[in-house]
Amino acid sequence: MRDYLCEDTIAAIGTPIGKGAIGIVRISGKDSLKILKEIFRTKKGTKKESFEDRKMHYGFVVDGSGEPIDEVLAVYMRAPKTFTGEDVVEIHSHGGIVVVRKILRTVLSRGARLAEPGEFSMRAFVNGKIDLVQAEAINELINAKSEFGAKLALKQLEGELSKKIRELRDKLLEVKAYIEAAVDFPDEEIEILESGHIKERIIEIIKEIDKLISTYRDGKILKEGIKVAIVGRPNVGKSSLLNAILREERAIVTEIPGTTRDIIEETVTLKGIPLRLIDTAGIREAMDKVEQIGIERSIKSLEEADVILFVVDGSIGFTEEDEKIAEIVRKKENVILVINKKDLGLKVSCKEVSDWKECVELSAKNTEGIDELGEKIMKLILLEPETILRGEEPLLTNERHKELLELTRSSLNKVIESIEMGFESPEFLSMDIDDALHALGKIVGQVTTEDMLDIIFMQFCIGK
């Protein structure tokens, strides 16, 4: 169970495990300064009784027997002007894992507790230094897979989405105030429950929510990348295409059909956006149980892909097996027909298959046409990252936020339905608006439960 009262002093290593120039041990809580005083020694070997706020102090950390562990720089930061809102100490040592772990053990021996994943950020949230959206943005910034993903997370950390959510809540609270005035002063001639007035205000708020929800697709792609499934019958060059896009030999390529028996997933960056490339097993009548499982996974990958690359061997042309796969992929969105093996001479061209919306001729062997394929992928997704990031609306990247906004919209639609059906009882309208406010409050953490916080912060790394 986490210490949601923040009574304990916690500590953790704040830098990645491994070799490095610097290693950092972070301490947060009421005993932070006390622990620092107990383990820190000056260059002369004496204890230091006072530490100026936010000033680096050079010295040594010693173990329980007084033996030096390492020379360090230590800084004490006084509450409440810290990340967690508590007293915080950072000890900067040399980056060897043995040294850093020994310093951490020494800190723990003086009364601190090992921090749980995300507990520093959780304390920042509990102490009002950040809201829940900003806390989640910290984790997304740490785990960003691209430059644009990092930019997006930084915008949320700066409060762009939080500000929008609070604006929506303020507008709803204003509507609720009108409605509750009718409940509190029923004898007053307050023309606040005119259906047109309330309905119009709610519809405007719903439109803003719809606009925000509509950003989720682009936001998710900027954050997680474009999932691209490479499909086709065996031996058409799917693995060669994966290698050509990656510019390295990642997948095994042989003349033997069915070499790829399982899903291979790799990531490459295209115009700052991660492409999550999935090389699938060739789709055909399975020769054995193992191949059958691979083919089933290939078909499943089609459902999850943002873009499908349907690869055919252009030196042979469409076969009966190709036609069977074409029947499956034609039903999907964002499909690019890839006519491969241009270096061997093509028996079929893009001009001859005009029924395919997007088509590219290429040679995976010598990488001819690979850049054109990349352009077509971006064109299909219709993604202009720089333009999107400069847009008026913040972008949604988190499914939790999207689901809560959809719940908010559902509650507000009930208000509209009640008005249109003539059920204009202030009490009933107020209940649905309360549900909408509750959902919005859960996004930024104004409404929380310990279980919800546990789920969110357990996704963080220890030390953050």
Give the whole-angstrom CA distance, residue 316 versus residue 50: 81
Q: What is the pLDDT of residue 184?
A: 63
Query: What are the start-end ranges of the E strands in 281-367?
Result: 307-313, 335-340, 358-361
The CATH 1.20.120.430 domain(s) of the chain lie at 139-215+394-445
Q: What is the pLDDT of residue 124?
A: 95
So what's the pLDDT on residue 291?
A: 43
d(CA 231, CA 224): 21
Contact 85, 121 (CB under 8 A): no
The domain at 222-386 falls in which architecture? 3-Layer(aba) Sandwich (3.40)
Q: Within 10 A of 271 (CB to CB), how many other CB atoms are there?
A: 16
Q: What residues of the chain score a pLDDT lower than 50?
A: 1, 189, 250-262, 283-294
The superfamily (CATH) of domain 139-215+394-445 is tRNA modification GTPase MnmE domain 2 (1.20.120.430)
Q: In terms of Cα–Cα distance, which of 358, 424, 232, 145 is closest to 242?
A: 232
Give the pLDDT score at 189.
46
Name residues whose C-beta falls within 8 Å of residue 304's C-beta, 6 or more positions apart in sequence: 227, 229
Domain with CATH 3.30.1360.120 in the chain: 10-130
Structure token pair of residue 316: 């042979």
| Under 8 Å between Cβ of 86 and 32 | yes
State the pLDDT at residue 237: 87
Output the six-digit token pair for 207: 């439109």
Beta pairing partners, 340: 313
Out of 3.30.1360.120, 3.30.465.10, 3.40.50.620, 3.40.50.720, the CATH code matching 10-130 is 3.30.1360.120
pLDDT score for 457: 86
Q: Where in the chain is the domain with CATH 3.40.50.300?
A: 222-386
Question: Given this model, what pLDDT does residue 407 score?
Answer: 97
